[in-house]
Amino acid sequence: MRILAIETSCDETGIALLNASGGPSLKTSKPSRAVPRIAVRESLVASQIALHREFGGVVPNLAKREHLRNLPILFARLEKKLRAKGERLRFDMITVTVGPGLEPALWTGITFAKDLAKRTGVPLVGANHLEGHLYSFLLPQKTAPSKIQIAKSQSAKLQSTQSSAKKTITAPQIAFPAVALIVSGGHTTLLVMESLVKWRTLGETRDDAAGEAFDKAARLIDLPYPGGPEIEKLARTGDPHMVKFPRPMLHEKNYDFSFSGLKTAILYYVRDNPRSVATEAGRAGLAASFQAAALEVLIKKTIRAAKEYGARSVILCGGVAANTALRTQLKRAVRNALGPDAAFLVPLRAYHLDNAAMIGAAGYMAHLRHKRYPLRADGTLEI
Ligand code: KG4
Ligand code: ZN
């Protein structure tokens, strides 16, 4: 099945073309555990980060305006890329993110997808953005990414990722039960999965999401938006033991998270230690201490859940999964706690941050599951 996928939930406009086949058959009462094979023909992302940076965060109406402008540009770019290979853009299904996210931004993608479905007569399936992150490990692990600039645009950077559909795509190895940690700018959610299509939420954040905590901590020490990559960079040279920040809810017997206390602790530290914060070593130590506190809670709670539910795989996904320290430390913790046979699944770096390829995977799974999300923006849609 050829799938055209569209993502506009936040500040990245994405259009992707995928080939998908196989996957769990839901015809029997007990779904099979087959894993789909997905090839990403093209994945185009126009990032608005530079535009929102001067406001210190995403401005919904500005995001909407940019999506409206970028969608036809990306679509034309996709057609052109295929033409260059002597192919015509053809697809059997369209899928678009319907939530969660910023509703004005979501509507731009939904309207574009509806028009396209009407024009082409191709069926349209709604996709859940969080399922996109969750299923992003299904996307190929080997790609040839390249970055290009959108013409006539000062703000949008276009990133293109592609993998040859002609190559044999092997489905990733996942064994169940699995525990999945979704960490993004809007969510921190821990799931236990019985199969690719059946899961239960174990816990989530009670206030700020993990990515939001990185963004807010960054702002307190005058780092630009988005703060996650900036904190990570600064933390590399800092002493993680410089400040003993709280580890919120670490010892509570649930799987919920809370990051707002950590933000307040940084606020007080910055207020009370202006001299330290004025030095490069002080700022680096602060970034490293914050990151150590946030990662310790995420990792320890994920491992505790994995042990309690006898997980044979652990999935890490969402924008914060781009954090190398988180990936390496969680990978090590999974090996130590669950043994060398446990699978640690993370998507390719190009698919951590918002993109349409992951929405293609989620749309394909929704199609297999006969899951019909209403085709309207739902800012608070749950997984
Ligand atoms: O998944 P995503 O692209 O968008 C949402 O669905 O929210 O995640 C964006 C979030 C931002 O909060 C950003 O600061 C964070 O992911 N992030 C990181 C890193 N790269 C991005 N957080 C920590 N370390 C990073 N390297
Ligand atoms: Zn996201």
Structure tokens at 339: 């043994």
Give tens-digit pLDDT for 178-205.
Answer: 999 999 999 999 999 999 999 999 999 9
How would you class 343 by CB atoms within 10 Å of its CB: exposed for 0-12, middle for 13-18, buried for 19 or more? middle
Give every CB contact of residue 188 below 8 A, 6+ residues apart in sequence: 181, 182, 204, 205, 209, 210, 257, 259, 298
Element (H, E) at 327: helix 324-338
Atom of ligand 1 nearest to the CA of 12: 3
Q: Which of 102, 137, 316, 353 to mutate to test the pocket of ligand 1 (most atoms within 8 A of CB)?
A: 353
- For 155-185, the pLDDT digits (tens) are 456 677 665 444 556 678 899 999 999 999 9
C-alpha 349 – ligand 1 centre gap (Å) = 12
Q: Using the mean position of ligand 2's atoms as its centre, give its distance from the Cα of residue 11 in Å.
A: 10
The count of other CB atoms within 10 Å of the CB of residue 189 is 25
Per-residue buried b or exposed e for 315-328, using 16+ beta carbons within 10 Å of the residue's own CB:
bbbbbbbbbebbbe
Max Cα–Cα distance, the chain, nearest Å = 66
pLDDT at position 277 is: 92
Which residues form ligand 1's pocket by a CB distance below 6 Å?
Answer: 10, 184-186, 211-212, 214-215, 226-229, 232, 318-320, 322-323, 353-354
Confidence of residue 350 (pLDDT cuts 50, 70, 90): confident
Structure token digits, residue 362 = 């989620």
pLDDT the model gives residue 144: 40
Cα–Cα dist 352/347, whole Å: 6
pLDDT band (50, 70, 90) for residue 146 = very low
49 Cα to the center of ligand 1, angstroms: 11
Averaged pLDDT, 199-213:
96
* Ligand 1 atom, smallest distance to 225 CA: 14
**Ligand 1 atom with least separation from CA of 324:** 26
Tokens found for residue 248: 């919120």
Q: Kindly report the average pLDDT of the chain as a whole number.
A: 91
CB 103 within 8 A of CB 376: no
Q: Which of 178, 170, 146 is nearest to 317 (CA)?
A: 178
3-class SS of residue 142: coil
